[in-house]
Amino acid sequence: MTDWAEEVFGDADLGDVRRTRRLVRMAAEAARNPSGKIADVYRSGADLQGAYDFIESKHVGATAIGLAIAESTALRCNTYDWVYVPVDGSSIKLWDGTDGSKDFGAIGTYRNGATGLKLENALAVAPDGVPIGVAAQVWWSRPRRRPKKRRPAYKEPVAKKETRHLLACIDQVAQSFAKCAPKTKCWFQMDRGCDAQYVLLHLAASGHLFTVRSQSMRRMLTVGARKLWLKDALRRQPQQGQFVLDLPKTESRAPRRATMIVRSKFVTLSMRDKWTGKRFDLPINVVLVQEQSRRSDRVDWLLLTNQPITAFEQSMAVVQGYTQRWRIEEFHKTLKTGACNTEETQLHCSDRVIRWATVLSAVAARIERLKILARTSPDLPASEELTSPELQALILLKQRRKKANEVLPKHPTIADATRWIAELGGYTGKSSGGPPGTITIARGLERLAVAADLVSALSKMR
């Protein structure tokens, strides 16, 4: 874990090399035993006190920690011509105590009274769908109470809207890649919440690729003297082709196999800023993907993109890219309530929560990377992701737990290693309901870390 922590945090500019060394040690321990509660991560009293001193220090900025993570991610992307960058916002729900003395802001609706912090995240994902790392983070806090005097949103300048945090997240990604991976293009993937004129214009001006799912009932086209909804205009286009999509199980949907129809069209979106009165024209390609079904919950995507869509294969590349947006939702689950359990933190100040959650975000991305690698690149050597002590310890632990007739491979693959790690965390194979998941992998990494430390210590003694 120390090698990974050094790679991610070793160049953090915290004003003092001793703080950077402390950060590396903290991150390595958090990767061994992730938890939202600092007291559950560090076992010795000295390490625990050092972690609290670091998190509470006014000399440590969360921005510098996040920048170190983003630049290390960009460096790992510089071997690719392009990478997917799903971007999404989320909320960290935090308990405000019995007296409401903590400085957390409102999340959700003001009526529900929930408190916590807001964030925008960008995750770099390789063309094969494997997460690489966190590419940007922007944290902020809403006012605790609804402002008494509120103008309609369209009468507010963008500098006063929450949209500004999304634009800042996009800028962070572009700046990190310009510095550390200048030849790599980012292909931003965004959901309907990002279908806003200033977001689209910002993406178009960034010099990178993008796909944004449209809120179809907000987009209209002028055709002659008539106005058409954008989706209606796409329905009049001939089919480009069909494909079959396996839809995963969700809270409101059973898994199923769906036949999808693809249509595409080049359009020019005409937009007007109601604050300034300015008009903007944005030439853009649109891909409509609809499930061939009359189901009320049928899949229906209207995708805005600056990628070419002349051929069916090009439109399919846009669709495939958009499916990678789900990677960031899985990452948020791992960060908030999965392996890292950030929402269980007992820190009393938003600045401290942000510092700790920023460290845990890198840990969450690593866990997600292991999980997806085992599913998409199962034949990759385990030594590509695990250190030598980790791999030696894992083999020793597996030899003790293996079945009598089980033959272990001489050179384990990443699929072998991930399954063995998950077994340490309680994974039981098919009876667990699917391939190894986030929680069992995190538990297994915690048990593996102790054994790896012992192997490393014995190796140094020799």
Residues 252-262: tens digit of each pLDDT: 778 888 899 99
Q: What are 154's two structure tokens?
A: 């369209």
Cα dist from 283 to 1, 185, 258, 268, whole Å: 47, 20, 31, 4
**pLDDT for the residue numbered 13:** 92
**What is the mean predicted confidence (pLDDT) over 136-150?**
84
Give the containing element (helix H, strand E) for 228. Answer: strand 226-229
Cα dist from 15 to 9, 12, 177, 293, whole Å: 14, 9, 23, 59
Residue 442 and residue 429 in contact, taking contact as beta carbons nearer than 8 Å: no
**pLDDT for the residue numbered 223:** 67
d(Cα 283, Cα 288) in Å, to the nearest integer?
17
Please give the residue that has the higher pLDDT: either 453 or 225.
453
Q: Where in the chain is the domain with CATH 3.90.350.10?
A: 62-344
Helix 17-32 to helix 45-56 angle (10° resolution) is: 120
* Cβ burial, residue 457 (10 Å; 0-12/13-18/19+): exposed
Is the CATH code 1.10.760.10 the one for domain 2-60+349-365?
Answer: no
pLDDT value at 291 more than 70 = yes
**What is the mean predicted confidence (pLDDT) over 100-119?**
85
Helix 163-180 to helix 62-77 angle (10° resolution) is: 50
Band (pLDDT 50/70/90 cuts) for residue 17 is: very high
Residue 141 and residue 103 in contact, taking contact as beta carbons nearer than 8 Å: yes
Q: Where in the chain is the domain with CATH 1.10.246.40?
A: 2-60+349-365
Residue 249 and residue 255 in contact, taking contact as beta carbons nearer than 8 Å: yes
Closest Cα to residue 152, out of 140, 144, 160? 160
Band (pLDDT 50/70/90 cuts) for residue 151 is: low
Residues 160-180: tens digit of each pLDDT: 888 999 999 999 999 999 999
Mean pLDDT, rounded, of the chain: 88
**What is the mean predicted confidence (pLDDT) over 232-239?**
88
Band (pLDDT 50/70/90 cuts) for residue 8 is: very high
Closest Cα to residue 26, out of 55, 69, 63, 61? 55
d(Cα 335, Cα 342) in Å, to the nearest integer?
6
**pLDDT for the residue numbered 430:** 65
Residues 73-104: tens digit of each pLDDT: 999 999 999 999 999 999 999 987 666 677 88
pTM listed for this prediction: 0.89
**pLDDT for the residue numbered 98:** 63
**What is the mean predicted confidence (pLDDT) over 40-61?**
88
Protein fold of 62-344: Transposase Inhibitor Protein From Tn5; Chain A, domain 1 (3.90.350)
Lowest mean pLDDT among 131-140, 154-163, 391-400: 154-163
Residue 79 has phi, psi (to 5 degrees) of -90, -5
Band (pLDDT 50/70/90 cuts) for residue 434 is: confident
pLDDT value at 149 more than 80 = no
pLDDT value at 449 more than 70 = yes
Which residues, in sequence order, are CB contacts of 101 under 8 Å at separation 6+? 348
Cα dist from 311 to 115, 240, 265, whole Å: 48, 8, 11
Residues 372-381: tens digit of each pLDDT: 988 888 888 9
**What is the mean predicted confidence (pLDDT) over 192-216?**
91
**What is the mean predicted confidence (pLDDT) over 407-430?**
86
